[in-house]
Amino acid sequence: MGTQGATVAELVQARWADHRPGLWFEDEVYSHHQVTAAAAARAALLADLLPRGAEAHVAVLLDNTPEFPRWLSAAALAGAAVAGINPTRRGAELARDILHTEARILITERAHLPLLDGLELPGVRVLVTDTDAYAELLKPYEGAKPGEHTVGEGGPRSRILLYFTSGSTGAPKAAICTQGRLAAAGQSLVRFHGVRLDDVHYICMPMFHGNAVIADWAPALAAGAGVALRRRFSASAFLSDVRKYRATYFTYVGRAVQYLLATEPGDDDRDNPLRVGFGTEAGAVDARRFAERFGVKLVEGYGSSEGGASIQRTADTPPGAIGRATPGDDLAVVDPASRAECPPARFGPGGRLLNGDEAIGELVNRGRNPFEGYWRNPEADAARVRDGWYWTGDLFYRDAAGFLYFAGRTDDRLRVDSENLAAAMIENILARWPAASAVAVYAVPDPVAGDQVMATLALSAGAASFSPSDFARFLAGQSDLGPKMIPTYLRIVDRMPVTATNKVHRVALRRTGFRCADPVWWRAGASSAYRRFSPEDLAGLLGRYREQGREDLLGR
């Protein structure tokens, strides 16, 4: 099954003699051989263009077009690395990302040229893929063969990716991924999902992000499967694309699944060739709805973007759990302050977590450490690996059988009335409300101490309007919803604000809090009923914050 290789370059070279269709984009079709030949030409071009002594890095500012996988393969063949650039970044932040990678060549397209207007990018040569000049530049290299032109040493320890990971604070960090790790990840997913030669992987998540490359492109390459590209994710075009390309596999992150579920249902939704969807943050409720509607199983996985820890799902994984530690990893859920391992979770009726305050902690890897570091960021390296342990920055709890349950990011922990709560757990409960297409839960400061729970709800297309009484009845029927989990504030939106990778834009939601233009409902005092949050309510509440000296906490 697939091709064994210690490096991505070996996996690319294995497709040289493969003349089957291997890449689809809109109405274009390319064979595996054509993709490999195009990669060899770009590797040769890179060898000529890269200044002597420069880092072997190429910045790529592209949508999901054929040029993106061509340059990934070219970098592998040349012993270079691709730095994916997020096109939603702007101005000085965008320039900072490009310059931070130390790339001397930037690959982009005409659609993104306006983003570069006015930016100072000293020493960076810009190549625009959809131009005659680019085609002319490549012509002399069209006869190149894989392995003829290199700029780096290559090998398993050679860098292949610099991909930015976002956090709640500070500039994005560029995580390093080597050829050995990417090849191993692809081959592992081939085995796990049973990827076959005749499979087609639909890549609709942005390729500047690790999910699309590591979890979608790499296993397709390792198996010799085909790849179908969507320039940008489109919920309305998803099914038609899947049918057009006969796609069998796709990946997702963040709220993509909710957007797909929010499309108009059709009688033929289950008439599709998909076999599996693999990703994270769909939630158990939406995964069930997706399987019922489309007949496709969603497999929730977990692997830290930097490669420091992973969790493997097995057939006996209970509902709500991600799985157990991958063999060889010594994963533990610990209290960050004491470094003591948290006790196992205890569950009550309806699966309610009874001891979340003591059972929820940060997931760490105390064993072998596959983390390869961040580019030129020793402070971030030191924060990620402390005393020989890899700290994921993610909250989990573990049951008595060793199964691990995701509870959110460490930034998503809430402390309500001296009790620690995890946003992800509350979200999974609120997601059961039929009128919601997406849910986000986060903390807002309490006027006196600790936090209060706030939720943003995006209504589904069939919901006429928000009914506070219906929502209150729904909450009362959730046996696993503890009283401190009930949101104090509800923000109602037509569409959930998301980042470029379709993850909820929690930073923006937390900063805005209840001071927003969208309708907000709240439970005032000890009341269990929701009512509209008025300008008078806001003025009175801000006065309470000022009295307690906590107004400066709002908007952080």
Range of weakest confidence among 68-72, 135-139, 248-252, 298-302 = 298-302
Go through the chain and tell me how many residues it has.
Answer: 556
Domain ranges of the chain: 8-232, 325-412, 419-553
Give the pLDDT of residue 312: 84
- The more confident residue out of 529 and 25 is 25
Give the pLDDT of residue 300: 87
Give the pLDDT of residue 481: 86
- The more confident residue out of 125 and 501 is 125
Give the pLDDT of residue 385: 95
Give the pLDDT of residue 170: 61
- Say if residue 367 is exposed, middle or buried (CB neighbours under 10 Å; 0-12, 13-18, 19+): middle
Give the pLDDT of residue 527: 67
Secondary structure (DSSP) of 112-169: GHHHHTT---TTPEEEETTSHHHHHHHGGGTT--TTS--SS--STTSEEEEEEE--SS
Give the pLDDT of residue 169: 46
d(CA 30, CA 16): 13
Of 179, 219, 184, the residue nearest 200 (C-alpha): 219
Instruction: Report, as an integer, the average pLDDT of 182-206.
Output: 96
Do the strands 81-84 and 57-61 form a parallel or antiparallel pair, or are they unpaired?
parallel
- Say if residue 6 is exposed, middle or buried (CB neighbours under 10 Å; 0-12, 13-18, 19+): middle
Res. 276 pLDDT band, cuts 50 70 90:
very high
What sign has the CA pseudo-torsion 537, 539, 540, 541? positive
Give the pLDDT of residue 421: 81
Question: Which of left, alpha, beta for 361 (phi over 0: left; psi -120 to 50: alpha)?
Answer: beta
Q: What is the pLDDT of residues 368-413, one digit of tens each?
A: 878 999 999 999 999 999 989 999 988 899 999 999 988 777 777 7
DSSP-H helix ranges across 340-457? 356-359, 378-384, 423-430
d(CA 538, CA 543): 9
- The more confident residue out of 420 and 198 is 198
Task: Calculate the alpha carbon distances from 149 to 44, 83, 361 in Å.
Answer: 5, 20, 49
Instruction: Report, as an integer, the average pLDDT of 528-556.
Output: 85
Res. 43 pLDDT band, cuts 50 70 90:
very high
Give the pLDDT of residue 408: 74
Cβ(2)–Cβ(187) below 8 Å = yes
Cβ(205)–Cβ(502) below 8 Å = yes
Q: Give the other-Cβ count within 10 Å of 256's Cβ.
A: 24
Res. 526 pLDDT band, cuts 50 70 90:
low
- Say if residue 114 is exposed, middle or buried (CB neighbours under 10 Å; 0-12, 13-18, 19+): exposed
Question: Does domain 419-553 bear CATH number 3.30.300.30?
Answer: yes
* Whether pLDDT at 478 is above 50: yes
| Secondary-structure breakdown of the chain: helix, strand, coil percentages, each rounded to the nearest 5 | 30, 25, 45
Residue type, 431: A
Q: What is the pLDDT of residues 434-449, one digit of tens each?
A: 999 899 999 998 887 7
> Domain 8-232 belongs to what topology?
Rossmann fold (3.40.50)
Q: What order do you get walking across the sheet with 310-312 strand by strand? A: 302-303, 310-312, 324-325
Do the strands 436-445 and 226-229 form a parallel or antiparallel pair, or are they unpaired?
unpaired
- The more confident residue out of 99 and 353 is 99
Question: Which of left, alpha, beta for 383 (phi over 0: left; psi -120 to 50: alpha)?
Answer: alpha
> Domain 325-412 belongs to what topology?
Luciferase; domain 3 (2.30.38)
Instruction: Report, as an integer, the average pLDDT of 324-348.
Output: 91
Q: What is the mean pLDDT of the chain?
A: 91
Res. 255 pLDDT band, cuts 50 70 90:
confident
3-state secondary structure of 226: strand
Q: What is the pLDDT of residues 32-41, one digit of tens each?
A: 999 999 999 9
Task: Calculate the alpha carbon distances from 403 to 193, 282, 312, 332, 364 in Å.
Answer: 20, 18, 10, 11, 15
* Whether pLDDT at 238 is above 80: yes
Give the pLDDT of residue 389: 95
Please give the structure tokens belonging to residue 27.
Answer: 């109405």
Q: What is the pLDDT of residues 126-179, one digit of tens each?
A: 999 999 999 999 999 999 999 999 999 889 999 999 999 865 446 789 999 999
